[in-house]
């Protein structure tokens, strides 16, 4: 058996497990270690231990395919199979019956926040457009959690992501926030305090199918809207996507669901973007990382640029925060220069815009 340069880091102590770049869980991510240096190859290269719930596994060979300039010279060898590779399983989908009319929207915590900000009609419109639903998986602040379906360009339901939100602030709940978890056991069905050390995020697909071996592959939240769109805005958060679609409806907004999220730099995921005018809107502090991702998309034939709107702002500020702030009275008004900068990013000709001075 050959001796390979990269291997998954053995577990010896808790610090050997890290934050997963996809699901964000601490203590679940295993790095690939470079035997020559004893250091991780890259913070994104590794495997999440939550195979059923997350399934993230970014191998050294895939990393060097995406970033060929990072490949060591001469002696690097890809991990070889010790046996014949298994045949690739066909992608499985969830029944579209899970997208039936939501009769519990009045109990949806995120709906309450968006309704308060924009009114009932706009909240209903955007929830209908993206098929956002309500889940009883978590209960908090007298309301229920949100379900974000991932529907591909063919109308197939690929995954359902469930998250709990604070209805007042609109922020998603972290591990330190209180929520009650729905327990559906044979003997009893009830809510119990969720004291698990993890954020309130759950990928429900495999559980809904009652098949934890199902081959589910994620896609963009809002992917089903790409086909009929000309200009696409890509953000990280599903909530941000909804808010932007209300405040800037001339653009079709989709979300990755995380920095690496739905593995959106893989060609089969970003394929629907080819032929569209695409702008990425990274959160503050993430411009460089998203510019690297944009380069992968460009190499795959996508016409994409990266916005600097959030650069220089407090960390984790996103485009929705900026747009919401613009709605509030402020001392410094928006200038024509600010507007022209935004028009350039969105690919809109300035001659088509009238300024009232």
Task: Determine, yes or no, domain membership for 163.
Answer: yes
Among 209, 241, 269, the domain-final residue is 209
Examine the pLDDT at 2 and tell me if it is beyond 80: no
Statement to judge: residues 102 and 165 lie in one domain: yes
Task: Determine, yes or no, domain membership for 347.
Answer: yes
Q: Encode pLDDT of 25-64 as tens digits.
A: 888 899 999 888 888 988 889 998 887 677 888 888 888 8
Statement to judge: residues 191 and 110 lie in one domain: yes
Statement to judge: residues 227 and 337 lie in one domain: yes
Statement to judge: residues 306 and 193 lie in one domain: no
Among 178, 209, 240, the domain-final residue is 209
Statement to judge: residues 14 and 118 lie in one domain: no
Examine the pLDDT at 82 and tell me if it is beyond 60: no
The pLDDT score that the predictor gives to residue 354 is 56
Other beta carbons within 10 Å of 168? 11
Q: What is the CA radius of gyration of the chain?
A: 22
Statement to judge: residues 116 and 140 lie in one domain: yes
Q: Which CATH number is 333's domain given? A: 3.40.1360
Examine the pLDDT at 77 and tell me if it is beyond 80: no
Helix (H) or strand (E) holding 8: strand 6-8
Range of the domain at 158: 96-209
Examine the pLDDT at 112 and tell me if it is beyond 50: yes
The pLDDT score that the predictor gives to residue 198 is 86
Q: Encode pLDDT of 87-107 as tens digits.
A: 678 999 999 999 988 999 999
Which stretches within the chain are classed as H helix? 60-66, 109-118, 120-129, 205-209, 238-247, 267-270, 287-299, 319-326, 336-346
Please count the structural domains in the chain: 3
Which are the contacts of 51, defined by CB distance < 8 A and separation ≥ 6?
none
Statement to judge: residues 103 and 185 lie in one domain: yes
CA distance 84 to 169: 52
Task: Determine, yes or no, domain membership for 216.
Answer: no
Contact 35, 41 (CB under 8 A): no
Examine the pLDDT at 332 and tell me if it is beyond 60: no
Answer yes or no: pTM beyond 0.75.
Answer: no
Q: Encode pLDDT of 124-146 as tens digits.
A: 999 999 999 999 999 999 999 99
Tell me the average pLDDT across 204-224.
94
Q: How far is residue 200 CA from its own chain's centroid?
A: 14
Backbone angles phi, psi at 16, to 5 degrees: -80, -5
Statement to judge: residues 339 and 235 lie in one domain: yes
Task: Determine, yes or no, domain membership for 59.
Answer: yes
Task: Determine, yes or no, domain membership for 215.
Answer: no
CA distance 217 to 275: 23
Q: Report strand pairing: 46-48 vs 133-140.
A: unpaired
DSSP per residue, 56-72: -EE-HHHHHHH-GGGSP
CB-based burial, 93-123: b 16+ in 10 Å, e otherwise: bbeeeebeebeebebbbbbbbbbeebeeebb
- pLDDT band with cut points at 50, 70 and 90 for residue 203: very high
Beta bridge partners of 221: 255
Task: Determine, yes or no, domain membership for 117.
Answer: yes
Task: Determine, yes or no, domain membership for 47.
Answer: yes
Task: Determine, yes or no, domain membership for 135.
Answer: yes
């Amino acid at each position: 058996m050959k001796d390979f340069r990269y291997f998954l880091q053995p577990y010896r102590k808790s610090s050997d497990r890290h934050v997963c770049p996809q699901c964000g869980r601490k203590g679940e991510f295993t790095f690939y270690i470079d035997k020559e240096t004893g250091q991780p190859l890259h913070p994104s290269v590794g495997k999440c231990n939550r195979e059923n719930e997350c399934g993230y596994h970014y191998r050294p060979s895939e990393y060097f395919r995406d970033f060929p300039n990072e490949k060591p010279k001469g002696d690097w060898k890809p991990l070889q199979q010790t046996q014949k590779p298994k045949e690739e399983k066909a992608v499985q989908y969830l029944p579209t019956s899970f997208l039936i009319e939501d009769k519990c929207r009045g109990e949806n915590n995120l709906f309450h926040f968006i309704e308060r900000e924009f009114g009932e009609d706009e909240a209903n419109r955007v929830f209908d457009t993206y098929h956002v639903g309500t889940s009883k998986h978590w209960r908090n602040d007298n309301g229920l959690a949100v379900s974000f379906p991932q529907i591909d360009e063919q109308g197939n339901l690929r995954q359902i992501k469930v998250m709990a939100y604070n209805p007042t602030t609109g922020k998603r709940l972290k591990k330190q926030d209180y929520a009650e978890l729905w327990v559906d056991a044979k003997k009893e069905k009830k809510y119990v305090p969720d004291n698990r050390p993890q954020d309130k995020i759950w990928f429900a697909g495999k559980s809904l199918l009652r098949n934890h071996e199902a081959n589910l592959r994620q896609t963009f939240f809002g992917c089903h809207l790409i086909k009929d769109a000309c200009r696409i805005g890509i953000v990280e958060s599903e909530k941000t996507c909804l808010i932007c679609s209300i405040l800037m409806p001339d653009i079709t907004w989709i979300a990755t669901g995380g920095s690496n999220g739905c593995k959106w730099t893989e060609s089969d995921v970003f394929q629907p973007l080819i032929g569209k005018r695409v702008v990425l809107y990274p959160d503050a502090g993430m411009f460089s990382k998203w510019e690297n991702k944009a380069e992968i998309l460009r190499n795959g034939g996508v016409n994409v640029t990266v916005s600097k709107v959030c650069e220089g702002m407090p960390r984790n500020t996103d485009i929705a925060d900026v747009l919401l702030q613009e709605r509030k009275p402020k001392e410094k008004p928006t200038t024509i220069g600010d507007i022209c900068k935004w028009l350039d990013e969105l690919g809109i000709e300035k001659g088509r815009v009238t300024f009232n001075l």
